[in-house]
Structure 1
Amino acid sequence: MNAVIIAVLLMILLSLLRVHVVLAITLSALVGGLLGGLDFSSTVQIFGNGLGGNAEIAFSYVLLGAFAVGLSRTGLPDFMVDRLQIWMKRNGERERDTLSRMLLFLMLLIVASMSQNAVPVHIAFIPILIPPILLILNRLEVDRRLIACILTFGLTAPYMLLPYGFGQIFHKTIADNMEASGLPINIDLIPQAMLLPTASTLIGLGIAVFITYRQRRVYKDVPLSGDDSSMSEEKSYSTTSLLLAGLAVVVTVVVQSFYRDSMIPAALAGLLLLFVTGAVKVKKTDEVMSEGIKMMGFIGFVMLSAAGFADVIRETGHVESLVQNVASMINGNQIIAALLMMVVGLIITLGIGSSFSTIPIITALFVPLGLEVGMSTLAIISIIGSAGAIGDAGAPASDSTLGSTAGLNADGQHDHIWDTCVPTFLHLTVPLFLVGWLTAIIL
């Protein structure tokens, strides 16, 4: 049995059984390494060496968490809640209530989508935007599983379709690896090939909004710090504090646009602005940083363990054997070929947690396989793009799902697996799997 398949399935099973995702990833990496022919010492060493792969990202998330806490101390969340309450009048008018919900959904969808292309900050906006509006979501009784679907859609669909920002990186990765595998393409063909697969995720999001999670869900109003007394001092706001909070957000976005390879400068710039201007008292520095670490430490450790997991399964050599086994099962059938390609992409991306890292792994096989069974160039592009991106929504170690959880669980009322991974997998990954498979057949 392939060690990659066993390791990924074990990780998913342990996560669904509510074993902490960091422990689930670590145990699965050890099992995968041993089954892949590595001895225990080598597996541990490879896993440990691989932890550094996401160290910068993990540190960035901690800084962003501290920045989010700092913004909450300016009174920005209370201002947003107060304005929304005045707008809604809280008089039981359900029509106005519904309008408020839909406008919030639209706002989050636009911001999340822009984070991939127009202003490529990826998940950096989540710890800035989401924790402050949790009180608004609570009072509107919005099911946070729906918000997880909206955020994850915005973090994945735009880069699949649009060749800007992170989309440009994704499309170039596909084009470069296809050329290296013997099939040069015009990069302008990729949006055309990815139109239907991307549309399928929009349909899944519509099902989540209008059917699955349309019912109201009650949450408690819990301060981000978990300490009512400490937060009570910070609930007042002024025009100055709100302007400084807005300026800090703008500065963070602007700095991120200049330093796209790292989120550290942007988060640090926002934090320093809050402290230097007095928007957050300097004596609160330790408290803000501690709360930021508490909020985002989870995602940091998951990213570190995911990097170690990826290194172990690559070192086993079973990724290559997995894709080779698929070749022997196809026997010239396009329908079976496309189906198995999607399955391989799903397994690898669920394990690695990165669609960008999956593309180089699968392209080396998918190009010759696609040509062998008579697939068109558009079909091969579509299957590579879809199979590469398919696990991004729903993977426990994906930064798209981890980022959504980090924001929605700022008050401890949102479970990573059952409230983010499972809903996004069902509403975004499943439609992408089916439509991606069909698109590769009909193109």
Structure 2
Amino acid sequence: MNAVVLAVLVMIILSLARIHVVIALIGGAIVGGIVAGFSVTETLEIFTGGLGANASIALSYAMLGAFAVAINFTGLPNLMVKGAIRLVGKNEETRRKTMTKVILLFIVAIVACFSQNLVPVHIAFIPILVPPLLLIFNELALDRRAVATALTFGLKAPYILIPAGYGFIFHEILVTNMEESGMSVEMGMVPQALALPVLGMLIGLLFAIFVSYRKERPYHNKEIVEESVTSGDKNYTTTGIVISIISIVVVLIAQVVTDSMIFGALSGLIILYCYFGVLHFRKEFTLNQTDQLMTSGMKMLAFIGFVMIAAGGFAEVIRETGHVESLVTSTSDWIGGNHGLAAIIMLIIGLFITMGIGSSFATIPIITAIFVPLAVAIGMSPMATIALIGTAGALGDAGSPASDSTLGPTAGLNADGQHNHIWDTCVPTFLHFNIPLIIFGWLSAIIL
């Protein structure tokens, strides 16, 4: 058996069985290492060696968590909730409530899209935007699975299609690696080749919003932070709202300028801490509450940090097995010249590889080095090859438990402990995006 296939299957099965995803990643890595011929000790050494790859990301999320909780104390969430109640109406008319939910979902998706191309901050906006909106979602009985789907769509579709921001990086990695593998392509070919797969994702998003998760789903109003951390009656003030908006803008600008989530979050926290210092001077906020605020914020995103660190170790084991190449080459003998069969097999292989590593950016070089020679051997065009590689890279990323495109939405939506990472984020995004990606990616490879 192929070590990559077994490792990913074990990780997925354990995750679906509600085993913590960190344990699932470690378990999958051990199985993959043993099948590849490593001892348990050697596998754990390789796993440990890969842990540092995502350490800076984990620290970034911890800082962003502290900033997100700090924003909660400025009164901005309270103002947003009151605005949402006015928008829904006191009588909660069904039609008006439904329209409000749809508008909110599209706004969330659009903001997520902007985070990839227009203001490339990736998932940094989620812990700032989403936790304050949870009370609004609860008021509307909005199914958070729909929100997770909208967020993941915005985090993936824009960079796959549009060559700007993270999209430029994705397209550049794709083109560079294809040329290094011996196939001549141009940047302008990538959006054309990936237009159909992205259309499939859009159809999946619309299906999730208007069909799968259109019904109400009740949630309880819970505090985002520990009860011991209070801020009085949390009434908003003009000063608090202005300070919170300024801090959010500073976070976004600082991150774009320095290309560092850590520095961005730190910049916003400094502004908020100065504001809280004024409140402390006026006896409205104690220093003990400030410390608890920071700790609670870090705990809120500790989950995503540990998963990203473990995912780095898992990916290292996957690469060291050497079975990624054999997974593809072992199928080339019986594919022959059947383009349709070759396309579906290559997409499924890409799904397994990316599900395990959890990043389309990281897997593009691996997939390209193997897929380009295979595509040339069976006579596929450069456009069809781009469609297959781009789609295969995006496939697992959309539903992988170790992907930041799923971890980010979960971190925001589970701020009050009512959103499960696997069943409320990964499974919905897998079903609504990976199935359309396979169908439309296959069509794109056949047509082009």
Class of the TM-score when normalised by the shorter of the 2 chains: over 0.9
Q: In 1, distance between residues paired with 2:220 and 2:229?
A: 18
Partners of 2:310 and 2:190 in 1: how far apart?
32
Output the CA distance in 2 between the equivalents of 1:211 and 1:168.
Answer: 33
Q: Which residue of 1 aligns with 2:407?
A: 402
The one-letter code matched in structure 1 to 2:191 is P
Q: Which moved more, 1:212-221 or 1:268-277?
A: 268-277
Aligned partner of 1:55: which letter? A
Alignment of 1:26-37 (within 5 A): 26-37=26-37
Partner of 1:249: 248
Deviation at residue 109 of structure 1 after TM alignment: 1.1
One-letter amino acid of the counterpart of residue 257, structure 2: F
In 2, Cα distance between the equivalents of 1:183 and 1:230? 58
Moved more, 116-125 or 182-191: 182-191
Aligned to 1:70: 70
Residue of structure 1 in register with 2:282 after alignment = none
In the alignment, which residue of structure 2 is the partner of 1:11?
11
Deviation at 1:401, TM superposition (A): 0.2
Provide the residue aligned with 2:57 in structure 1.
57
Does structure 1 conserve the Cα–Cα contact (< 8 Å) formed by 2:226 and 2:296? no
Q: Residue 414 of structure 1 aligns with which residue?
A: 419
Given that 2:225 and 2:297 are in contact with CA atoms closer than 8 Å, whether structure 1 keeps it comes out as: no
1:47 alignment partner in structure 2: 47
Give 1:86 deviation, angstroms.
2.4
More displaced 10-residue stretch of structure 1: 85-94 or 428-437: 85-94
The alpha-carbon deviation at position 236 of structure 1 amounts to 1.4
Q: Which residue of 2 aligns with 1:277?
A: 275
Letter of the structure 1 residue corresponding to residue 268 of structure 2: G
In structure 2, do the counterparts of structure 1 residues 100 and 231 end up closer, same or farther at CA, with 3 Å as the change threshold?
farther
Q: Tell me which of 259, 263, 266 is aligned to 2:264.
A: 266
The alpha carbon displacement at 1:63 in A equals 0.3
**1:353-372 alignment runs, 5 A limit:** 353-372=358-377
Give the unaligned 5+ runs of structure 1: none
Secondary structure at the residue paired with 2:126? helix
Contact 2:196–2:441 under 8 Å retained in 1: yes
Aligned twin of 1:236: 235
Alignment check: 8 A CA contact 1:353 1:396 kept: yes
Alignment partners' CA distance in 1, 2:337 and 2:111: 44
Q: Deviations over 1:87-108 (max 9, x none)?
A: 3332232222222212211210
Amino acid across the alignment from 2:402: A
1:226 Cα deviation after fit: 4.1
Q: Once structures 1 and 2 are overlaid, which stretch shifts more, 194-203 or 83-92?
A: 83-92
Q: Partner residue of 1:224?
A: 224
* Mapped partners of 2:317, 2:92: distance in 1: 56
Aligned residue pairs total 441
**How do residues 316-327 of structure 1 correspond to structure 2 at under 5 angstroms?**
316-327=321-332
Counterpart residue type for residue 254 of structure 1: I
What RMSD, in angstroms, separates the aligned Cα atoms of the two structures?
A: 1.3
Structure-2-length-normalised TM-score: 0.96
**What is the aligned partner in structure 2 of residue 154 from structure 1?**
154
Q: Is the 8 A contact 1:323 1:362 kept in 2?
A: no
Q: Is the 8 A contact 2:102 2:209 kept in 1?
A: no
Matched, 1:377 2:376: no
CA distance in 2: counterparts of 1:289 and 1:35, whole angstroms: 43
Distance 1:75 1:406 in 2: 21
1:168-207 Cα offsets, whole Å, 9 max, x none, are 0000000000000001211111001010000000000010
What SS class does the counterpart of residue 50 from structure 2 fall into? helix
- Contact 1:201/1:432, CA 8 A, preserved across alignment: yes
Q: Secondary structure at the match of 1:392?
A: helix
Asked if structure 1 preserves the Cα contact closer than 8 Å seen for 2:66 and 2:298, the reply is yes
In structure 1, the partner of 2:191 is 191
Deviations 1:247-291 (A, max 9, x none): 01000111111122x211101101111001337757133111211
* Alpha-carbon distance in structure 1 between the residues aligned to 2:238 and 2:257: 29
Deviation, structure 1 residue 225: 1.3
Secondary structure of 1:342's counterpart equals: helix
What TM-score do you get using the length of structure 1 for normalisation?
Answer: 0.97
Tell me if the contact between 1:183 and 1:367 (Cα under 8 Å) persists in the aligned partners.
Answer: yes
SS at match of 1:393: helix
Q: Specify the code of the residue in structure 2 equivalent to 1:191.
A: P
CA gap of 1:120–1:234, structure 2 versus 1, over 3 A, is: farther
Give the distance between the partners of 1:377 and 1:286, measured in 2 at CA. Answer: 56
Q: Aligned to 1:332, what secondary structure does the other structure show?
A: coil
What's the CA shift for 1:230?
3.8
Distance in 1 (CA, whole Å) between partners of 2:42 and 2:270 is 43
Report the CA distance between 1:232 and its aligned residue: 5.7
Give the alignment partner of residue 331 of structure 1, picking from 332, 336, 340: 336
The amino acid of 1:363's aligned partner reads T
List per-residue Cα deviations over 1:209-228 (Å, max 9, x = no partner): 1111000000000010142x
* Cα drift, residue 119 of structure 1: 0.3
- Which of 187-196 and 286-295 deviates more? 286-295
Indicate whether 1:344 and 2:354 are aligned.
Answer: no
- Pair 130,33 (structure 1): closer, same or farther in 2 beyond 3 Å: same
In 2, the alpha carbon distance for the partners of 1:309 and 1:173 equals: 22
| CA-to-aligned-CA distance 1:348-392 (integer Å, 9 cap, x gap) | 000000001110001112112112212111111111100111111
Preserved contact between residue 33 and residue 39 of structure 1 (Cα < 8 Å): yes
Mapped to 2, the partners of 1:7 and 1:72 lie a distance apart of 40
CA contact under 8 A between 2:157 and 2:201: conserved in structure 1?
yes
Is residue 104 of structure 2 the alignment partner of residue 104 of structure 1? yes
Equivalent position of 2:310 in the other structure: 305
Conserved? CA contact 1:223–1:231, under 8 Å: no
Letter in 1 for 2:203: I
- 1:442 equivalent to 2:440? Answer no
